Each structure stands twice: as C-alpha cells, then as structure tokens.
Chains A and B, each alone.
Chain A
Amino acid sequence: MNYLEHIGKYFIMLGRVFKKPQRSKVFYEALLREIEDLGLKSLGIIMFISFFIGGVISLQTALNLESPFIPKSLIGFAAKRSIILEFAPTFCSIILAGKVGSYITSSIGSMRVTEQIDALEVMGINSLNYLVLPKIIATVFFYPFLISLGMFLGIFGGWVSGVLSGLFSGAEYIEGLQTDFNPFLLTYAMIKTLIFAFLIATVPSYHGYYVKGGSIAVGRASTQAVVWTTILIVIANYFLTQMLLT
C-alpha cells in the first residue's frame, strides 16, 4: 500500500472516530481509564527524565562557558529556553510516542487479532469511536499538564545541578530564568504539545486498528507506529517552529 493510501485511510479513520459517543456514561468511564493509562502512568518517566536532562543541560552549558566576560546568568537563560522551547514539548513527546504509542498499538492490535474489535462491530458499536476517541481526548487534555510538569522539573533540575556542582550559584541561575521572559514561548510550547498529543494518540491507533495477522504482526505494527509517530512529531516540530517563531 502506498503512502497516499495510508494517509487517506488515516483521515477516513478520523472521520469515524469523531462521532458523538453512543453512550456518554460508557465514554466517560473509558476516558478516565485512558487518562490513567496514557497520562498518570507516564508521570514517573517524564518527571525522572525531565529532572535529570534539565540538570545535564545546565551542567553542559556551564562547562562550555569558559569566558569570564559571559555572565553565569546565561546558564539559567539557556536552560529555560532549551527546556521550554524544545526539551519539554518535543523531547518528552518523543519519549511518550515510544511509551504510550507502543502501548496503544499493541492493545488495539491485540483486540483486532483476537476478534474483539469484530465483536464490538457485530454488537453495533462504532469501535473506532469507542476505542480511539477517549485516547485522543485523554492525551490532548492531559499532556499539557504533563509537559508543564516536565518544564518545571527540568528547570528545577538545572538549579539543583548548579547548586550541587558549584559551577554556578542558585541566584545566578534564577536571574537567568527571569531575564527576557517571553510568555509567548509557553503558548508556542503548548500549541506544539497539543498537536504532538494528537499524533501520539491517532497514529499508533491507526497502526493497531488496521493490523492484519497475529502477534508478530502486532509487534511489527507497534515498532512502525513508534517510528512513524516520531517522524511525524519531528516534521510537525519543524513546520510549527517556522510558522510560530519566524
């Protein structure tokens, strides 16, 4: 199947996903389950990685600033910019594409190969709406919180690394954070997060829903889903940056 066919099929899938849920009570139950599976269960890894990457960004910046004419506050400024602009929205989304994307594809793919999706269709349930819509809503609403937490912990990690290593002081770091603060950068990061969250929910769902074969095919689809979600995040990141920041 060529790429155009896949793109067409993906948009047809979205057409079936965005229908009014058949039973709102069942939908809300599914939504809460997805918030837990796709959001809350990703808190740990995002917190852990954000804290340490924030620390590493600050240490690397400090170690590369050898000139006495460059103020140490630049470390905080650079860490803030890198974390808010790229690390939290893009890098964390790529991590989530791996963790959540493979989970979505394998769970929906397993349902496909064990005829659970056929069972839903026979019952008269719009299986795409039932399975995918709660995932989209859960990621699009929850990931901004997750990414905001990633930003906070990344910046905090930078501060901790400076204080512990003695390469820069906490006051210098905070001064850098406050320098030239542009609130639009946060808006830009949130716009990116929403679009990446949508990709993280829908691309793996597509790969899982249309899988054919058995368990090996599900494994292969999971890998493909992660690869394609990552590629699409990177491409979308480029175009969004060009559209919003230039």
Chain B
Amino acid sequence: MIEVKKLYKGFEGNPILKGVSATFHPGKTSLIIGQSGSGKTVFLKSLIGLHTPDEGAIFFNGTLSSEFTETEKQQWRQEIGMVFQGSALLDSQTVEDNVMFPLKMFTKQSDEAMLARVNFVLKRVNLENSNKKLPAELSGGMQKRVAIARAIVMNPKYLFCDEPNSGLDPQTAIVIDKLIQEITVEYNITTVINTHDMNSVMEIGEKIVFLKDGKKAWEGTSDEIFKTDNEAVVNFVYSSNLFKKVREAYLRETK
C-alpha cells in the first residue's frame, strides 16, 4: 500500500503540487487524471523518487520513504516497476536484453534461469518471438508491452505507469489497459497510472484521483465519476460529446 500525505513540490519557486494526499491499495488499479500541467507527472515522479518532495510524506507499506537507508532504498527500487510515457527502452539493446537487464543487475540467477523468466514475462504480455528485435523495430504498442514486461520481470510490489496509452490507437490502448489491470490483480501489485485517456478511466479505474492546479480536486471510482456533481471533474472528463452522451445514458438507466 502507498500512502501519500500532504505532498508539496515546486521548481524554482513555482509550486506544482500543493498538499496532495492519496492512498493506493494492492491489487487495485489507481488512476491519476487531470489536465496537462495539473501536476500528474510531478506527482508520479515524486512517488518513484525521481523528485524529492519539498514537504509531505510518502509511506510504502508503512515505511516513510524519506527515511529509507541506502540499503532499504536499493531494495525498494527493486520492488518498483515503471512504464514510462515513451517506453524508455534501452534502444541499443534487444527486447530480450532490455527485459533481462534488471535481472542481470540485481540477481545472481544463471543465464538459463534469466532467459526462462524473460520468456515467461514476454509470453505474459503476448510478445513471443520478438526476443532478438531492437526497440526501433517494434510498433508503439509492442514497445509498451516490452516496457511492461521489463517492469514486472522482478516481481514488483508497485507498478507505476506514465500515460501508458499515449500515441496508441484505441484498440491497442484497451489491450494495454487490460494487460496492466490483469497483472495488477494476478500479482497483487499496487498500480498507479497517470492518464489522459477517458477510456482507461471508464475501463480500469478502480480508484481515480483527479488533480487540478496541483491539488486533489476529487477522488472516487469509475462508477462514481458518472454520478459526481463536481464541476471540475465533469468539465474535464465529459468534455467530448461522446462521453457526455455516455454519461447521460448511464444516469438515465440508473435513475
């Protein structure tokens, strides 16, 4: 479980996060939504330790992250899987080498055992027979799947995804969403996803945190987002005619 308490973060005197608190549970897919510039990426990067918060606390299974010793920090890093917006695969390495990389760095498994684990996770993300390809030879969706495979190869307790659907066609985006959700449940991972994609919100948003101007403006589930009267959420989520109509239909049905 991840508990975030009153998180503040700014850059060069410009405050980005203004006291955000949230809790994320294992086995659940939590989404962070909000407009561009609302602080989603800074929030996610603060969770994974790429930014140091100015104020506030982040607890991982009850342990305050700022009080980790170097050894604990190293251990914690190995419990984290991260899928970056642009996949962030090492472009000079093959798919197999990319996925095997964390195993090579942090385990003492034999080459055979590592290869077996790599093949297992690649199969799990439906990406067999691509071991020897370079990232540049893959489509955007395939790159995302390799990134997910690399993120889960160490059996992480926490999975973070920054805009996993950006640049993907709607069908592939749904496949990626479902894959992340399945993996979250299967391995009881605490998953936090930054997204703009309203399909993701409707499909896999077991918990949704809406950020506006660096503050948490709303929190709920994908069912609750249909019923909410929060003006900021309604304006953001139902900005397209399609989603407006979906919401109207939902509200009519549930009256």
The chain A residues found within 8 Å of chain B, CB to CB, are 22-23, 25-26, 110-111, 114-116, 118-119, 121-125
Contacts and interface: CB of A to CB of B under 8 A. Distances in A.
Contacts of A123: 77-78, 80, 101-102, 105-106
Contacts of A125: 105
Contacts of A115: 84-86, 88
A22 B84 CA distance: 23
A123 B101 CA distance: 10
A25 B108 CA distance: 11
Given A119-B89, A124-B78, 18 more contacts: A23-B104, A23-B105, A26-B104, A110-B91, A114-B86, A115-B84, A116-B89, A118-B45, A118-B50, A119-B88, A119-B90, A121-B50, A122-B49, A123-B77, A123-B102, A124-B73, A124-B74, A124-B106
A110 B85 CA distance: 15
Interface in B61-79: 73-74, 77-78
B82 A119 contact: yes
Interface string B217-235: 0000000000000000000
A116 B88 contact: yes
B74 to A, nearest CB: 5
A16 to B, nearest CB: 13
Nearest to B107: A23
A135 to B, nearest CB: 14
B173 interface: no
A119 B102 CA distance: 11
Nearest to A22: B105
Interface in B24-43: none
Given A22-B105, A25-B104, A119 B84 contact: yes
17 contacts: A23-B105, A26-B104, A111-B90, A115-B84, A116-B90, A118-B50, A118-B84, A119-B82, A119-B84, A119-B88, A121-B49, A122-B50, A123-B105, A124-B73, A124-B74, A124-B77, A124-B106
Nearest to A116: B88
The SS class assigned to the B binding surface is mixed
Interface of B: 45, 48-50, 73-74, 77-78, 80, 82, 84-86, 88-91, 101-102, 104-106
A211 to B, nearest CB: 16
Residue with the highest number of chain B CB atoms closer than 10 Å, among A23, A25, A123: A123
Nearest to B90: A116
B105 A122 contact: no
The SS class assigned to the A binding surface is helix
A110 to B, nearest CB: 8
Residue with the highest number of chain A CB atoms closer than 10 Å, among B74, B78, B91: B91
A209 to B, nearest CB: 15
B84 A26 contact: no
B79 to A, nearest CB: 10
B176 to A, nearest CB: 17
Residue with the highest number of chain B CB atoms closer than 10 Å, among A110, A118, A119: A119
A118 B80 CA distance: 13
Given A122-B49, A122-B77, A124-B77, A116 B91 contact: yes
A53 B232 CA distance: 71
Contacts of A110: 91
B71 to A, nearest CB: 11
A44 to B, nearest CB: 21
A23 B45 CA distance: 26
A116 B48 CA distance: 15
A25 B100 CA distance: 13
Contacts of B77: 122-124
A122 B48 contact: yes
A23 B50 CA distance: 23
Nearest to B79: A124
B90 A122 contact: no
A22 B107 CA distance: 11
A111 B82 CA distance: 16
B220 to A, nearest CB: 29
A31 B102 CA distance: 18
